[in-house]
Amino acid sequence: MDRPTRWSRRSGGSPLLQAGLASTACVACLLAPLVLRAESDDEAEAAEVKEAGRHAPYESVDESAVFKPEGEPLEESRETPDYDAREDDRASPAEVALWVPRIALFPLHLVFEYGVRRPLGAGVSLFERKGLFDLGLDHVYEPGGPSLELSPIIKLKSDRADILGMSFVYRGAFDDRLDLGFDFAGFPKRNFLVRSHLKRHFLRHDLALAFNLETQFRDDHAFWRLGPDVQTDTAARYASHETWAYLRLESKADKRKWGGHLDVGFTDNVLRCSPNVERDLCGPDGIDETSDDRHNLESDDLAPFLQDYTLVRARTQLHWDTRKASGEGEGVRLELMGGWARSIGLNASRLHFASYGGELSGFWNVFGFEGHTLGVRLRTEMLHPLGEGRIPVPELPLLGGDETMRGFPDEQFRGLSTATATLDYRYPIWSFLNGVVLAEVGNAFGRHFQDFDPGLLRGTLGVGFQSFGVIADHTSFNFTFGVGTTPFRAEEFGIDSVEINAGTTWGF
């Protein structure tokens, strides 16, 4: 058997390897002159560039535009490169405009911060340190558990007695199924309000059944006259003691686009003269139905003014809202209202009527920012007598105050039908404060708008702000300054009323 041939290191390896090495050596010998020539050319070119003062081959530079004597600035400055490729972060005109209400409302912010929020917080902290909240409610502040809310009740009016008080709400008792509430407020010798509330939740909070009991006395209710032609200086005052008791079946809407409630109960209303205030409705003698009375109803549909009455009634409200559960952002809201009432008791006069109305609203974000919202609202209410009895004045739809036609006092416009249109712009001022600019038109008219005339409409312009989440989750502080106009067709069109409304919104 032939053995394989073994090649030793002395022999230089295999013939194939030796041939490859020889070929490589020959190629290197041929390329060496070319490499040396290229290197010499590069060195000559570099020396030439250095000598000519050039920055790069084949590119001439104007030294006068780059090199300047010491102490002289360059004529041209290089722009800073956009390293992160983001847009310029300059403030927009809308953001700059926000500083106008911030500066104007800063004194009010100081009053609210150091006159309301901080003293209230210090009082609650003191109660906690002293153990005044240790009433078997040790679990009140556990996350997801029951909560105890204390918030002030404040109503400051330029034309009525103020209201001051406190609201207590204990939410989530008995395994998050029961809410308890109690309010008391008033002003010495002028008015008082007491309200209690008990709410039971069902079906994972989708439904709730509540019982409400409320009594209120005021000696400064205002009555001008009925219909659209009202003079601001003709207000007359009267006293009213009202009591409400009703059951409410409520559909919660925080997880759905629709919701509403149904109320069934009774109201009792006692009307009297108010001799303790200026311009008592009964006149200087303080006696009703005498020659010096300051009211003239001028309508066959209405009952004598100071006639007591008791009603059994049902009211319902349904709404559909495409906005977020918090009521913010873009969307549409539709609200429908209806009611029925009938007189009962010894003084019943076959009083029987129905009420109905609705509101359609649209909201759009403007300026490209979340929270800058333009809103448009159209609202109407009507009351229709059904029996032979005549309608008491306090039951009529009304306009004016801190919710509608905010340039006029409370209850200035009363009629069997009312209509308003509102345009408002809401925007954030601070993290807990929103501003509002609004314009409204509206008025009160006869049955089914039988005397409606666009020239009888009045206007309102107003500005204000609303705080949220500072006092309590369900309480906000509102301030509005508004001016109201004369009817549009008036011979001398101008400002007819100036109104300031400030206070908290509270409720169960």
Identify the structural domains of the chain with CATH numbers, from first to last: 99-505 (2.40.160.50)
459, 440 Cβ separation under 8 angstroms: yes
pLDDT of residue 190: 82
DSSP letters, 145-166, are S-EEEEEEEEEEESSS--EEEE
pTM over cut 0.75 = no
Closest CA to 392 of 286, 279, 269, 298: 269
Closest CA to 329 of 222, 281, 257: 257
DSSP letters, 416-428, are SEEEEEEEEEEEE
Q: Whole-angstrom Cα distance, residue 154 to residue 118?
A: 16
Q: Whole-angstrom Cα distance, residue 358 to residue 249?
A: 20
Q: Residue 415, class by beta-carbon neighbours within 10 Å (0-12 exposed, 13-18 middle, 19+ buried)?
A: buried
Strands 236-251 and 258-272: antiparallel
Per-residue pLDDT of the chain (508 residues; tens, 9 = 90+): 444 443 334 344 444 444 444 455 444 444 445 444 555 555 555 556 555 554 444 444 454 544 555 555 555 566 666 666 566 666 666 666 667 766 766 776 676 677 766 776 777 677 667 655 444 344 444 555 677 777 888 888 877 888 888 888 888 777 677 888 888 898 887 888 899 989 888 766 678 899 999 999 998 888 887 888 877 667 888 899 999 999 999 986 555 688 899 999 999 999 988 887 778 888 777 776 666 676 665 566 676 777 888 999 999 999 999 887 666 788 999 999 999 999 887 555 678 899 999 999 999 998 777 788 999 999 999 999 887 777 888 999 999 988 899 999 988 999 999 999 999 999 888 777 888 999 999 999 988 998 899 999 999 999 998 876 555 556 778 889 999 999 998 888 899 999 998 888 755 4
